[in-house]
Amino acid sequence: MGKLTEFRADSDYSLWLRFDDGLEGSVYLGNLLEIGAFKLWRDQDQFRRVAIDPAAMTLVWDGGIELDPAILYRDLLEREAA
């Protein structure tokens, strides 16, 4: 699996990601808006405040939201192979 090198939160609740092996693309996360802590993302400014936790190398937001880039990588890889 590649290492996450760049990311951007877009206004349509997608995350654009680039990994060091060249894999890049967008993953739609709007389907999570009604689940628990993800409701914070209804405020798009909250969604856009994504950061990387340098210790865990996960994507993090306020409210304790954390996503593992490895999961998002697999999603992009599977869509590329389809």
Q: What is the pLDDT of residues 5-48, one digit of tens each?
A: 999 999 999 999 999 999 999 999 999 999 999 999 999 999 99
CATH number of residue 53's parent domain: 3.30.2020.10
Judge contact between 45 and 61, C-beta under 8 A.
Answer: no
Contact 61, 47 (CB under 8 A): yes
**What's the number of domains the chain is made of?**
1
Element (H, E) at 77: helix 69-81
pTM value is: 0.89
* Beta-sheet strand order (sheet of 58-61): 51-53, 58-61, 65-67
Give pLDDT, residue 80: 84
- What residues make up the domain containing 19? 4-81
